[in-house]
Structure 1
Amino acid sequence: MRIRSSGVTWREVDGEIVALNLESSSYFATNATGARLWAPLVAGCERADLIELLVATYGIATSTAASDVDRFLGSLRSNGLLDD
């Protein structure tokens, strides 16, 4: 899966991501944790990669990381920002 390359523009601002879906004119912003997940999604990655990244970076339980990743991916999908 990856962040859509067409119809989406984004910038990193103060360690957070600000994205705009140009087709729907919807605005999306992340916190620092979401920004940490953004770069692998721009390059293309798997859900498991994102979970491992959160566990390694923040020292949280795998189940907590999985829940956080699923919630984040759900937000990206509902805002039309993700290509699966």
Structure 2
Amino acid sequence: MLKIAPHIAWNNVGGELALFDGRDGTYHALNESSAAIWRGIAAGLDETEIVRSLAEDHNAGPAEISRDVREFLDLARTKGLLEGGD
């Protein structure tokens, strides 16, 4: 299961999210779409549930949404923002 790495603090900033990485003091800004994925992870949703929710919210096909979600999750794991879900 995906989870937010323990060294990451985050806060809502006008529909977007600001992440702070306590390991090196860096900030990451998430746009509205990435913030929706992040909030889904924080709520305990798995990747399939996040894709389904975003597809419904944006009236889009799950295949397209799935590709975008996967790209974000892979990048976030690479940067150490998320753990698990392999």
With structure 1 as the length reference, what TM-score do the two structures score?
A: 0.88
Q: Distance in 1 between matches of 2:67 and 2:79?
A: 19
Task: State whether structure 2 residue 4 is matched by structure 1 residue 3.
Answer: yes
Counterparts of 2:34 and 2:44 in 1: how far apart (Å)? 15
Structure 2 partner of 1:46 = 46
Q: Are 1:83 and 2:83 an aligned pair?
A: yes
Letter in 1 for 2:36: R
Q: Secondary structure at the match of 1:11?
A: strand
**Structure 1 position 71, deviation (Å):** 1.0
**Structure 2 segments unaligned to the other structure (5+ residues):** none
**Structure 1 residue ranges, 4+ long, deviating more than 3 angstroms after superposition:** none
Unaligned runs of 5+ in 1: none
How many correspondences in the alignment? 83
Distance, in Å, in 2 between the alignment partners of 1:52 and 1:61 is 9
Task: Tell me the percent identity.
Answer: 25
How far residue 25 of structure 1 moved from its aligned partner, in angstroms, is: 2.6
Partner of 1:32: 32
Partner in structure 2 of residue 74 of structure 1: 74
**Residue 62 of structure 1: how far off its partner (Å):** 1.1
Following the alignment from structure 1 to structure 2, what is the Cα–Cα distance between the partners of residues 28 and 75? 12
Q: Is the 8 A contact 1:20 1:28 kept in 2?
A: yes
TM-score by length of 2: 0.86
